[in-house]
């Protein structure tokens, strides 16, 4: 009789080992952190004895669930912004709030909250990607869960690094600190192909190979990402990553939603693990990942919750069920991904996808004791049929709920017994979480109340407030005016021709000003579009005092290159009204009495307002504005325009 630390008996055991052995009733013998033996109850009890023997009547005993992709500290951002497109959600809300609030303290608290939620959902191991990953690791190890902790690297500044060089240096230190820890596997996470340069991808891959650790990355999550990579790199996402030798590392690829059969074969050939995140893909309408096809050719596909801000919970039971339902529903084949396969994806195959199958993922002697008990005696899971042994898998996938998990053990230590968390004080953590929510609420209340602060929040370099003296005259014969400009003695410093597409955003409160999204198409001498430029300008109310009546002083408050699409800005700023203006502009930069003026000949196409001549110059002081106004009026006379500056009613409405 061999003495062990713990025996759990009288359980319905799903081992999820290579032959999917089931023991019912079964027992497991655990020696410290290691599974010593698992088998029929009678066999185990005749060979092993222990001081602690647990009777698991009415329960399924199985390996702990593996959450293959998540961002655990984001529990503190859960429900902050929903029902948005990925770019608006990420660039408009998540990243600005993260820049403001994500600190080591935030990350630790968010991780602890996530651990509590995950333990309750039967998760024993998760694969994380965030910032301050050292603090994620600290908190996780303190709670006693197993995790792959991946430090994020992005091409722009992050909450824990001013540059990617800093992130790479942080990663090395972090990896050296945690390598060989019994619970934490450090990893590196170049965030995604569209947020990383090829250099970042290559350097991250080199670090992963050097330290022999997994590399965690988001790949082919949206159609947009694929289209952008194809247009920039001339190939889809997976071949592009392969070209950068990414798959020389042990890759954990989250999502892989938009990949073709060739890319699926390439992932298999390169032994990449994939993390499927059904809730997140559905909620963000990213698409449906070809999981059935990937599984058929033998890719290891694990299941993940993704971050709690895009899900919004960490319930693996929901993900498991969605995985099988999505595969069936999208293929029209009810035999696709049977319950048994899906349970394996959430355990052993998940461990393979994370490259940690030697440690965890199945109840196999020699592996760490990471296991859960699921109570199947509740009304929603009865009665129990046993004529088919696989019906236990069906019970887990189609009927069990996260809250049926009663006991959770990681590395031989109980983290939850009889629904009670043993290493966390949930109430206290939730109270602290609410404090953060209050502070973030205040920040967002303030930001959302001003167009300017919303503009600043999405970054980009801004030019500060400026004024312009503007004089406008409706003209009937643009050709004659252009001739007049060219034949005058005015030195022409520059000449441009463009087609402008403006979209004005109006807001209920006129004090907010209006926002203009402008796309300039530069037209060459040969009348071809040679270049595009997009800009955002926040326009303030025009000032009419202190300068001659005919001249207007316009106020342009902030100005930034528009790096996102018009659709993005519309969804992010949510204006009460928009207006489209299209015009053809011939622009001359002239010098008059040592002062630079732009003379624009603007032919409006939409709306059809005819042609306007515009004389304008930038100004910063009242005195300067007065002088420039006088000069502009003189210029008008030089151009033989003797009629008064006119602004018609429909033009004013446009302003
Ligand atoms: Zn993610």
| pLDDT > 90? residue 433 | yes
Burial of 199 (0-12, 13-18, 19+ CB in 10 A): exposed
Ligand 1 geometric centre to CA of 260 (Å) = 21
User: Among 307, 295, 298, 201, which residue's Cα sits nearest to residue 254?
Assistant: 307
| pLDDT > 80? residue 463 | no
- Looking at per-residue pLDDT, the higher value among 140 and 546 belongs to 140
Ligand 1 geometric centre to CA of 302 (Å) = 14
pLDDT band at 648, cuts 50/70/90?
low
Question: What is residue 636's predicted lDDT score, i.e. its pLDDT?
Answer: 87
Please, which residues have CB less than 5 A from ligand 1, an ion? 306
Q: What is the pLDDT of residues 510-524, one digit of tens each?
A: 888 889 999 999 999
Neighbouring residues of 497: CB distance < 8 A, sequence distance ≥ 6: 522, 523, 524, 584, 585, 586, 587
Ligand 1 geometric centre to CA of 193 (Å) = 13
Whether the CB-CB separation of 189 and 150 falls below 8 Å is answered with: yes
Ligand 1 geometric centre to CA of 254 (Å) = 7
From residue 87, give the alpha-carbon distance in Å to each of 51, 201, 222, 505. 56, 22, 10, 19
Ligand 1 geometric centre to CA of 513 (Å) = 37
| pLDDT > 70? residue 646 | no
Q: What is the pLDDT of residues 42-77, one digit of tens each?
A: 999 999 999 999 999 999 999 999 999 999 999 999
Question: What is residue 650's predicted lDDT score, i.e. its pLDDT?
Answer: 56
Q: What is the pLDDT of residues 278-333, one digit of tens each?
A: 999 999 999 999 999 999 999 999 999 999 988 999 999 999 999 999 999 999 99
Ligand 1 geometric centre to CA of 498 (Å) = 42
Mean pLDDT of 2-22: 97
Question: What is residue 540's predicted lDDT score, i.e. its pLDDT?
Answer: 80
| pLDDT > 60? residue 544 | no
pLDDT band at 215, cuts 50/70/90?
very high
Question: What is residue 474's predicted lDDT score, i.e. its pLDDT?
Answer: 86
pTM of the model: 0.85
Ligand 1 geometric centre to CA of 343 (Å) = 22
Ligand 1 geometric centre to CA of 395 (Å) = 29
pLDDT band at 640, cuts 50/70/90?
confident
Question: What is residue 545's predicted lDDT score, i.e. its pLDDT?
Answer: 52
Average confidence score pLDDT of the chain:
93
Beta bridge partners of 22: 14
Task: Provide the token pair at 111.
Answer: 């991780």
| pLDDT > 90? residue 546 | no
Strand duo 552-561 + 123-130: pairing: unpaired
Count of beta carbons in the 10 Å neighbourhood of residue 422? 13
Burial of 140 (0-12, 13-18, 19+ CB in 10 A): buried
Alpha-carbon distance 600 to 591, whole Å? 14
| pLDDT > 60? residue 170 | yes
| pLDDT > 90? residue 459 | no
| pLDDT > 90? residue 629 | no
Exposure on the CB side of residue 223, measured as CA atoms within 13 A: 6
Ligand 1 geometric centre to CA of 152 (Å) = 11
Ligand 1 geometric centre to CA of 179 (Å) = 23
Question: What is residue 644's predicted lDDT score, i.e. its pLDDT?
Answer: 67
Ligand 1 geometric centre to CA of 618 (Å) = 46
User: Among 191, 329, 296, which residue's Cα sits nearest to residue 253?
Assistant: 191
pLDDT band at 274, cuts 50/70/90?
very high
Q: What is the pLDDT of residues 372-386, one digit of tens each?
A: 999 999 999 999 888
30-44, 352-366, 394-408, 615-629, range with the lowest pLDDT: 615-629
Ligand 1 geometric centre to CA of 123 (Å) = 17
DSSP secondary structure code for residue 644 in this structure: P
Q: What is the pLDDT of residues 473-505, one digit of tens each?
A: 888 888 888 998 888 888 999 999 999 999 999
Whether the CB-CB separation of 454 and 572 falls below 8 Å is answered with: yes
Ligand 1 geometric centre to CA of 217 (Å) = 8
DSSP secondary structure code for residue 645 in this structure: P
Give 374-441 as a 3 state SS string: EECCCHHHCCCCCCCCCHHHHHHHHHCCHHHEEEEEECCEEEEECCEECCCCHHHHHHHHHHHHHHHH
Question: What is residue 643's predicted lDDT score, i.e. its pLDDT?
Answer: 66
Cis peptide before 609 (omega within 30 of 0): no
Question: What is residue 1's predicted lDDT score, i.e. its pLDDT?
Answer: 92
Ligand 1 geometric centre to CA of 203 (Å) = 21
| pLDDT > 80? residue 651 | no
Ligand 1 geometric centre to CA of 307 (Å) = 6
Ligand 1 geometric centre to CA of 394 (Å) = 28
pLDDT band at 649, cuts 50/70/90?
low
Percent of the chain with pLDDT over 90: 77
Nearest 5°: phi and psi at 162? -80, -20
Ligand 1 geometric centre to CA of 218 (Å) = 6
Alpha helices (H) along 420-565: 426-448, 451-457, 478-487
User: Among 277, 274, 284, 279, which residue's Cα sits nearest to residue 222?
Assistant: 284
Question: What is residue 204's predicted lDDT score, i.e. its pLDDT?
Answer: 98
Question: What is residue 91's predicted lDDT score, i.e. its pLDDT?
Answer: 87
Question: What is residue 373's predicted lDDT score, i.e. its pLDDT?
Answer: 98
| pLDDT > 60? residue 652 | no
Ligand 1 geometric centre to CA of 71 (Å) = 6
């Amino acid at each position: 009789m061999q003495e062990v630390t713990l025996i759990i008996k009288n359980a319905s055991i799903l081992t999820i080992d290579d032959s999917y052995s089931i023991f019912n009733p079964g027992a497991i013998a655990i020696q410290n952190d290691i599974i010593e033996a698992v088998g029929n109850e009678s066999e185990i009890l005749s060979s092993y004895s222990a001081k602690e023997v647990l009777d698991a009547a009415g329960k399924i005993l199985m390996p702990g669930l593996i959450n293959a992709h998540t961002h655990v500290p984001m529990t503190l951002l859960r429900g902050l912004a929903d029902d948005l497109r990925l770019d608006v959600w990420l660039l408009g809300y998540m990243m600005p709030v993260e820049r403001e609030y994500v600190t080591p303290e935030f990350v630790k608290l968010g991780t602890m909250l996530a651990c509590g939620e995950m333990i309750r959902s039967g998760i024993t191991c998760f694969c994380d990607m965030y910032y301050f990953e050292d603090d994620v690791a600290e908190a996780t190890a303190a709670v006693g869960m197993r995790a792959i902790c991946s430090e994020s690297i992005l091409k722009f500044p992050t909450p824990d690094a001013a540059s990617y060089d800093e992130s790479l240096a942080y990663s090395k230190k972090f990896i050296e600190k945690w390598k060989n820890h019994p619970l934490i596997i450090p990893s590196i996470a170049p965030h995604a192909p569209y947020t990383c340069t090829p250099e970042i991808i290559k350097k991250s891959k080199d670090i992963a190979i050097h330290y022999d650790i997994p590399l965690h990355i988001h790949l082919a999550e949206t159609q947009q990402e694929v289209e952008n990579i194809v247009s920039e790199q001339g190939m889809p996402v997976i071949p592009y990553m392969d070209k950068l030798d990414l798959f020389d590392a042990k890759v954990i690829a989250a999502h892989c939603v938009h990949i073709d059969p060739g890319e699926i074969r390439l992932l298999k050939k390169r032994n990449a693990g994939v993390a499927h995140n059904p809730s997140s893909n559905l909620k963000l309408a990213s698409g449906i990942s070809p999981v059935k096809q990937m599984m058929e050719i033998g890719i290891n596909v694990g299941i993940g919750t993704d971050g709690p801000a895009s899900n919004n919970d960490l319930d693996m039971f929901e993900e498991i069920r969605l995985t099988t339902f999505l595969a069936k529903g999208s293929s029209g084949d009810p035999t696709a991904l049977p319950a048994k396969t899906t349970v394996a994806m959430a355990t052993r195959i998940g461990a393979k996808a994370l490259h940690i199958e030697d440690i965890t993922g199945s109840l196999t002697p020699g592996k760490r004791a990471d296991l859960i008990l699921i109570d199947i005696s509740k009304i929603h899971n009865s009665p129990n049929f046993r004529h088919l042994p696989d019906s236990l898998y069906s019970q887990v996938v189609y009927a069990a709920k996260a809250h049926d998990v009663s006991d959770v053990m990681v590395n031989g230590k109980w983290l939850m017994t009889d629904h009670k968390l043993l290493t966390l004080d949930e109430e206290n953590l939730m109270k602290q979480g609410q404090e953060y929510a209050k502070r973030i609420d205040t920040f967002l209340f303030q930001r959302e109340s001003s167009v300017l602060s919303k503009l600043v929040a999405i970054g980009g370099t801004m030019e500060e407030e400026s004024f312009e003296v503007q004089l406008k005259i409706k003209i009937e014969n643009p050709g004659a005016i252009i001739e007049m400009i060219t034949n005058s003695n005015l030195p022409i410093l520059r000449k441009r021709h463009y087609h402008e597409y403006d979209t004005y955003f109006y807001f209920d409160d006129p004090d907010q000003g209006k926002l203009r999204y402008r796309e300039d198409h530069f037209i060459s001498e040969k009348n071809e579009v040679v270049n595009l430029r997009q800009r955002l300008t926040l326009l303030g109310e025009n000032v009419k005092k202190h300068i001659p009546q005919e001249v207007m002083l316009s106020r342009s408050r902030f100005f930034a290159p528009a790096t996102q699409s018009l659709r993005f800005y519309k969804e992010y700023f949510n204006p009460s009204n928009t207006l489209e203006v299209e015009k053809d502009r011939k622009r001359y930069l002239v010098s008059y009495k040592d002062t630079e003026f732009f003379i624009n000949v603007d032919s409006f196409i939409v709306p059809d307002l005819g042609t306007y001549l515009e004389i304008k110059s930038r100004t910063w002081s009242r005195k300067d504005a007065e002088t420039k106004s006088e000069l502009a009026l003189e210029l008008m006379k030089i151009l033989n325009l003797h009629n008064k500056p006119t602004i018609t009613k429909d033009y004013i409405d446009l302003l």
